[in-house]
């Protein structure tokens, strides 16, 4: 390959690469362009070095590639930058991407819980499988409410948080199985429905809602979000689209693990609500309002930052040079 001819053909690309390598920061489109130009320039340099290593074109292109390599392998931003990216881009964007999955899973969960409660309420023999009349009466009139008051607030809050966080992380990590998430969500919905049926059996329906809604709205929302993330991971494996199955699964897993980390934080606040607000003697409407406001704040946060990141073309996944290049599947 004649170095002069190669310089004439690709000189514009070399100059563009040189200009991008001098920039302090690149937007997503510029980053992709920079990587493409760097790969092409590296190939051109290899060709020139095999035929004319002492030519001016070799020296010129070598300097451009060297500067670009330094730009590409520069020291990454510090921990504060990573912390900011997590809360401003990765977490809200991951949640925003799951908005439709969340709505579908939430609708299914509420439908199962409602149907289970109505069915159990209309069939006394179903409720008898939980215990005899005296057991159900004790549960409805004492145990359900006492559960939130029998332990110190702080101890109870931490216990609830660790249990719910563990469930959420399992739903995300084991979502690849599909079955684990569906069965776990179904059993939780049925338990909620049956508990409500036992409360209504002894005219304690108001207690059921007063005590379960303040923390239940944010808590169940987090669990449903975890289930939605897990099912997204399952479908990434089953229906990978145009990407290789392993690439699609790896990309979704890296992004959705962000959701698991965020849910641990969100469930901690939900645990504080359950430990300190739910058993508090303040008006029930105020307790429910606290849970609703917290959930609305999380939705607003994910919507604002997530939508902004999506419009900017950002990704919750790792950068290309960290995660490896994506390969489109042309044949399976």
pLDDT over threshold 80, residue 315: no
Which of these ranges, 71-85, 120-134, 244-258, has the smallest mean pLDDT? Answer: 71-85
Rounded CA gap, 304 and 96, in Å?
9
Residue 321 confidence class, pLDDT cut points 50, 70, 90: very low
pLDDT digits over 179-227, tens only? 999 999 999 999 999 999 999 999 999 999 999 999 999 999 999 999 9
Confidence (pLDDT) at 331: 41
pLDDT over threshold 50, residue 282: yes
Confidence (pLDDT) at 313: 77
Confidence (pLDDT) at 107: 97
Confidence (pLDDT) at 318: 55
Q: What value does the mean pLDDT of the chain take?
A: 85
Confidence (pLDDT) at 65: 86
pLDDT over threshold 60, residue 325: no
Neighbours of 90 (CB within 10 A): 27
**Rounded mean pLDDT of 54-80?**
72
Percentage of the chain modeled with pLDDT above 90 = 49
More confident residue, 45 or 291: 291
Which of these ranges, 12-21, 40-49, 246-255, 299-308, has the smallest mean pLDDT? Answer: 246-255
Out of 17-21, 76-80, 156-160, 244-248, the most confident range is 156-160
More confident residue, 276 or 23: 276
Confidence (pLDDT) at 11: 84
């Amino acid at each position: 390959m004649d170095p002069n001819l190669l310089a004439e053909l690709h000189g514009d690309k070399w100059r563009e690469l040189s200009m991008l390598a001098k920039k302090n920061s690149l937007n997503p489109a510029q980053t992709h362009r920079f990587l493409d130009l760097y790969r092409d320039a590296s190939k051109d340099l290899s060709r020139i070095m095999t035929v004319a290593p002492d030519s001016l074109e070799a020296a010129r292109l070598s300097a451009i590639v060297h500067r670009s390599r330094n730009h590409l392998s520069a020291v990454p931003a510090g921990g504060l930058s990573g912390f900011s990216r997590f809360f401003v881009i990765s977490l809200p964007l991951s949640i925003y991407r799951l908005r439709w999955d969340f709505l579908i899973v939430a609708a299914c969960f509420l439908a199962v819980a409602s149907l289970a409660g109505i069915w159990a309420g209309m069939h006394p023999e179903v409720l008898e499988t939980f215990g005899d009349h005296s057991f159900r009466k004790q549960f409805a009139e004492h145990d359900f409410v006492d559960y939130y008051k029998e332990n110190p607030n702080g101890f109870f809050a931490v216990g609830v948080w660790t249990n719910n966080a563990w469930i959420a992380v399992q739903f995300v990590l084991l979502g690849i199985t599909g079955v684990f998430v569906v069965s776990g969500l179904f059993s939780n919905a049925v338990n909620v429905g049956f508990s409500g049926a036992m409360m209504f059996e002894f005219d304690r329906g108001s207690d059921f809602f007063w005590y379960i809604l303040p923390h239940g709205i944010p808590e169940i929302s987090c669990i449903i979000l975890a289930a939605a993330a897990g099912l997204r991971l399952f479908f990434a494996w089953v229906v990978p689209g145009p990407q290789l199955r392993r690439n699609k699964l790896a990309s979704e897993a890296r992004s959705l693990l962000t959701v698991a980390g965020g849910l641990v934080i969100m469930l901690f606040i939900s645990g504080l609500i359950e430990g300190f607000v739910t058993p508090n003697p303040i008006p029930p409407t105020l307790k429910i309002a606290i849970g609703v406001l917290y959930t609305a704040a999380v939705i607003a946060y994910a919507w604002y930052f997530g939508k902004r990141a999506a419009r900017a073309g950002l990704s919750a996944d790792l950068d290309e040079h960290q995660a490896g290049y994506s390969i489109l599947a042309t044949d399976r």
